[in-house]
Amino acid sequence: MKGNCFQIVYVLISGFLLLFQGHAFALGNRTNHSNSDSTELSVLARIGEEVLDWVTWERDEFVITVYPSLSASPRNGFVYGVAPALKWNSSHPGKANTLTMNAETSTKNILQLQFEHEWYFHPDWMTSGEAFISSREDQYWLGTDETEIYFDRREFRLKWDVLANVLPAFWIGAEWFLNNNHFDNKAEVSFSEADLEGHKGDWLFGMGPKIEVDTRHRTISPQKGTWIQVSPSFVGLAGIGKYDYFRLTMDARRYLQLKKDKTTLAFQGIIDYAEPGVPFFEEPQLGGKERLRGIGHPLRETGNAVWLFRGELRQHLWWRLGGVVFAGFGESSDNFQNPFSGTISSVGGGLRLRMLPDDPLNVRFDFGVSSSGTTGFFVSLKEAF
């Protein structure tokens, strides 16, 4: 029954996108349909542009836009806030400088502030990073019976890297990160009784080299090229922080342009391993908004060893709107000895709204289901990969 439901959802999403694409094309084709249909679309697009002009400031050197951030889910309740974005000219051809912010609260008392940046400040140098602060009620699943634990969590995270372009398409540099977690007393007791690594939260510090191969023609919603990143991390160097372990993440992506500025096929494979001693809140994750989106909570499927492979079809529909369908599979476990013993599949689809007038920086609305019975709904800036 679960497999049939899985197939039906995928077919319905695919059919919806194909029908929507065909309908939008047909309405815009004057040779086959009446001028009144085309006029309706033109009026809608003009109204949309006028509305977006109210929240967009464009200059020769930069573009600023400020959007409302609205979403709803059982985990977060009704979420609302603002999502400003800044894009400015880059020193590296084909690369975009971006700074995005997300400030949110919700009916479940979430407070969250996030900054992300990517800055090509020299033809041969770039830096990227993230700053994140949140206070929320979170959720975890304990033991083989997966007992649900709800707990108050405060988190601070800072991540930064600097890379040099030493050869064409080849970047090398270093990354460091700092993390602090604090849980309520009741959660600490439950985590301790379950002998969960990291039950007291506390500070975590790590750093390591980073290597990238990047042949993408652009960094925002690329349509062609390859991106490969290898990032080993040494946590607890010089005794800084509470935790001491090694982690290795390998991420490979391939983009195929099926039709210029219209249709893209994207693929991604990830291998993520962390040694024993990693706290539960930092274990490699199989699900969440940037991995398998049919697993809604990032802590729902975690382990020392995670691998996944997925694909996504991205299609421009009309005006600033686009749609996607995606599918993937992977596994989280203690090691890679039996890598296909507990594979979970995920499928779904979503809509895209281009924020900037001339650059494909998108707000994405994604819904997915998984073969384990979970679902996920995400509203976020930029593509998942």
Q: Which whole-number Å values give the CA distances from 15 to 20, 22, 25, 207, 254, in the listed order?
A: 8, 11, 15, 46, 25
Low-confidence winner among 202-216, 316-330, 351-365 (lowest mean pLDDT): 351-365
Q: Say whether pLDDT at 278 is over 60.
A: yes
Please identify which residue in the block is written with the tokens 């309706």: 40
Count other C-beta atoms under 10 Å from residue 23's C-beta.
Answer: 12
Q: What share of the chain is helix, strand, coil (3-state, %, to 5)?
A: 15, 55, 30
Q: Say whether pLDDT at 337 is over 60.
A: yes
Q: Say whether pLDDT at 21 is over 70.
A: no
Q: Say whether pLDDT at 332 is over 70.
A: yes
Residue 25 — pLDDT band, cuts 50, 70, 90? very low
Question: How confident is the model at residue 44, as a pLDDT?
Answer: 81
Counting Cα atoms < 13 Å in the Cβ hemisphere of 364 gives 27
Q: Say whether pLDDT at 1 is over 60.
A: no
Question: How confident is the model at residue 127, as a pLDDT?
Answer: 97
Question: How confident is the model at residue 7, as a pLDDT?
Answer: 46
Q: Which whole-number Å values give the CA distances from 155 to 74, 102, 182, in the listed order?
A: 20, 15, 7
Assess contact for 82 and 69: CB atoms under 8 A: yes
Q: Say whether pLDDT at 13 is over 50.
A: no
Residue 36 — pLDDT band, cuts 50, 70, 90? low
CA distance 162 to 72: 36
Residue 325 — pLDDT band, cuts 50, 70, 90? very high
Q: Which whole-number Å values give the CA distances from 224 to 128, 211, 256, in the listed order?
A: 22, 20, 5
What mean pLDDT is reported for the chain?
Answer: 88
Among candidate residues 49, 102, 54, the one with its CA nearest the CA of residue 378: 102
* Domains defined along the chain, listed by start: 2-381 (2.40.160.50)
Contacts of 35 (CB under 8 A, 6+ apart): none
Q: Say whether pLDDT at 292 is over 60.
A: yes
Q: Say whether pLDDT at 76 is over 80.
A: no
